[in-house]
Chains A and B, each alone.
Chain A
């Protein structure tokens, strides 16, 4: 994934309008792009071509349905560990080896390793956390989501 800002001038006004409009969602109907294109005063084919380009240049990471894996029976849990600095690399290797570890970040804090466990069923979370505790000898703090506050985040393009 592109981690650096795009060079100035990469996006024109129509690109920005597309980025802003399509964060809110596409209708589920036979010709959804035609509907959005009309609202943006663009041609359907031009809209589709511009979305493809935005994806190619890395302005867009994904275009499609966003699934709630919990609604499908899966489970997630944010976890944190305080890993001694001299063991950090070895612990990273042990933790990352578990397929249940979806992402893992080093953060500047006493609790310096933060990762998300994702499992097909809720029982898998405790099993994976217990395995990490056994293999590392370190405590895994578990922060399951109790409530989600949804979600105004929009990237103004």
Chain B
């Protein structure tokens, strides 16, 4: 989908969040000099096309006790990786799940899944669970724990494009 300059202004205006008022889309419209109907129609169209994944709350999983996580990586047979990847991605303790290219010989893994838990032990138990799900289609795996955040910045979009 192509988004136009007005869509970009809506994106820039809401990228910090939706206003917490009874009529949030009317408030965004007021900021931008638009009508509420237009903001609603444009945001609905962007959601239909996938530009907006959803309008939702992102819980702070650390605050809620999910303090442990590891990037698990799996070498899954090419013929089965898409079917099995979808099953791994559907698990409620897996946040990011992607098929990515291998980088042989350094890196044999083609499925990445971020595993979350309340403790390192729980993450390890979930790793075992994923290994069981993948079964013989998986030829090897590893898990990489982060030891330090070196940089973290949100995606910043300008209104210009």
Given contacts A30-B26, A109-B144, A155-B61, contact A71 B56 (CB under 8 A): no
Task: Find chain B residues with CB under 8 A from A65 CB.
Answer: 11, 14-15, 18, 43, 52, 54-55
Complex Cα gap A154–B91 (Å): 9
Please classify the interface of chain A as helix (H, G, I), strand (E, B), loop, or mixed, using the class held by over half of its residues: mixed
Please classify the interface of chain B as helix (H, G, I), strand (E, B), loop, or mixed, using the class held by over half of its residues: mixed
Among candidates A52, A106, A145, residue contacting B100 with C-beta atoms closer than 8 Å: A145
B116 at the interface (CB under 8 A from A): yes
B101 at the interface (CB under 8 A from A): yes
Complex Cα gap A144–B59 (Å): 27
Most buried by B among A34, A69, A144, A151: A151
- How many B residues face the partner with a CB closer than 8 A? 76
Among candidates B89, B92, B146, B147, residue contacting A150 with C-beta atoms closer than 8 Å: B89
Complex contact B98–A149 (CB within 8 A) = yes
Among candidates B50, B59, B101, residue contacting A60 with C-beta atoms closer than 8 Å: B59
Complex contact B55–A51 (CB within 8 A) = no
Complex contact B18–A6 (CB within 8 A) = no
Measured CB to CB, the residues of B under 8 A from A are 1, 3, 11, 14-18, 20-26, 36, 40, 43-44, 47, 49-67, 71, 82, 85-86, 88-101, 103, 106-107, 112, 116, 142, 144-155, 157
Measured CB to CB, the residues of A under 8 A from B are 1-6, 18-19, 22-26, 28-34, 44-45, 48, 51-52, 54, 57-69, 71-72, 74, 78, 80, 92, 95-96, 101-109, 111, 113-115, 118, 141-157
